[in-house]
Amino acid sequence: MKIIRKPEELQKAIEALKKKGKTVGLVPTMGALHAGHISLMKKSVSQNDVTVVSVYVNPIQFGPNEDYERYPRPVEHDIKVCKDNKVDFLFLPTNKTLYNDNFSTYIYNNKLAKIMCGVTRPIHFQGVCTVVSKLFNIAMPTKAYFGLKDYQQYVIVKQMAKDLNFNIKVIGCPIVREKSGIAMSSRNTYLSEKAKQDACGIYKSLCLAKKQFAEGKKLKDIKKNIEKNILDIPTSKIDYVELRNSENLNEVTDKDKSIVIAVAVKVGNVRLIDNIVCKK
């Protein structure tokens, strides 16, 4: 595995490989790699000749008073995880190498970034789209892999790739969960053991909602039940509970056959997101 820190160096290496007809998979991450990230790496390695993993805590997707400064950065651990999972290139840029002093160009989805997480994190997806577009240009992947825990992010990135004519297939990969059911996340390290146990109720409420959707219950009743079950979790505070079209995040009615139920919940001071896709 080769560790690269400069964008132009990675571009040069990938250009040479693509001239030889090699396919390239990209796994963009913010590090603190866990089993969820590993599942993306394995998928990329199995589907491409070359796999690139980026590890970068992107400052422009954090709002004021969010956790940018304390976000976990176990670099040596991340290097080992990438080596162990047959990654070819580990891209470790810095703020200085990605954003020059006069940087002033941003990418924003004017529709999808205003709902769900975008309500309380208004600059978040602008930061995501900007850094992902830069990674697409630097790594020039054939395919890019995103975990479906961040479902809204996946839909937005997929739309961005379509809108801006990136010749890249954006692939969503299933949520990987801890044994308790809680979705794997680097931010789970913020949770106490008690809070982790309490947070299991989020996934339980989603599973119950999926069953109710299949049984034909009305969406407004399903939403009320989710809210009630989540508020029964000690120290919980709901950011949102949303029932949306699973393809494009449009609003839904009781006639829809496939939806995503997405939630953002604070347990103590830790904001957790989760979702489940429901079909009938």
Give the model's pLDDT for residue 212: 97
Residues 162 and 212 in one domain: no
- DSSP H or E stretch at residue 259: strand 258-267
Mean pLDDT of the chain: 97
Shared-domain flag, residues 44 and 139: yes
pTM for this structure?
0.97
Is residue 178 a part of any domain in this protein? Answer: no
Rounded Cα distance between 41 and 255, Å, is 37
Q: Output the CA–CA distances (angstroms, integers) from residue 127 to 27, 33, 85, 130, in the order listed.
A: 17, 20, 28, 5
State whether residue 13 is helix, strand or coil: helix
pLDDT score of 33: 98
Do 157 and 195 reside in the same domain of the chain? no
**Average confidence (pLDDT) over 4-29:** 98
Asked whether residue 26 is assigned to any structural domain, the reply reads yes
Residues 21 and 158 reside in one and the same domain: yes
What does the alpha-carbon distance between residue 140 and residue 118 come to, in Å, rounded to a whole number?
A: 28
Residues sharing a CB contact under 8 Å with residue 49, sequence separation 6 or more, in sequence order: 17, 22, 23, 24
In this structure, the answer to whether residues 270 and 151 fall within a common structural domain is: no
Alpha helices in 87-214 (DSSP H): 95-98, 117-120, 124-139, 151-163, 193-214
Which pLDDT score is estimated for 1?
98
- Residue 50 has a pLDDT of 98
Q: What percentage of the chain carries pLDDT values higher than 90? A: 100
The verdict on whether 37 is a catalytic residue reads: yes
Q: How confident is the model at residue 4 (pLDDT cuts 50, 70, 90)?
A: very high
Q: Give the N- to C-terminal CA distance of the chain in Å, as an integer.
A: 45
Across 221-242, average pLDDT: 97
Position 152 scores a pLDDT of 98
- pLDDT interval class at 107 (50, 70, 90): very high
pLDDT in tens, 84-104: 999 999 999 999 999 999 999
Tokens (6 digits) for 231:
């508020």
pLDDT digits (tens, 9 = 90+) for 237-251: 999 999 999 999 999
Q: How many CB atoms lie within 10 A of CB 111?
A: 12
| In-domain check, residue 181 | no
What would the pLDDT profile of 190-212 be if each residue is shown by its tens digit?
Answer: 999 999 999 999 999 999 999 99
Domain holding 195, by residue range, is 186-279
> Above pLDDT 70, what percent of the chain?
100
- Total tally of structural domains belonging to the chain: 2
* Rounded CA separation 87/207 (Å): 34
Could you tell me the two tokens for 275? 């979702």
Q: DSSP letters along 185-254, please?
A: -GGGGGS-HHHHHHHHHHHHHHHHHHHHHHTT--HHHHHHHHHHHHHTSTTEEEEEEEEEETTT--B--T
Retrieve residue 124's tokens.
Answer: 């978040």
- The pLDDT confidence band at residue 126, using thresholds 50, 70 and 90, is very high
pLDDT at 84: 98
Same domain, 229 and 163: no
Same domain, 63 and 130: yes
Q: 236 and 266, same structural domain?
A: yes
Same domain, 18 and 94: yes
Among 221, 179, 219, which residue's Cα sits nearest to residue 200? Answer: 179
- 20-51 exposure pattern, b = at least 16 Cβ within 10 A, e = fewer: eeeebbbbbbbbbbbebbbbbbbbbbeebebb
Residues 27 and 151 in one domain: yes
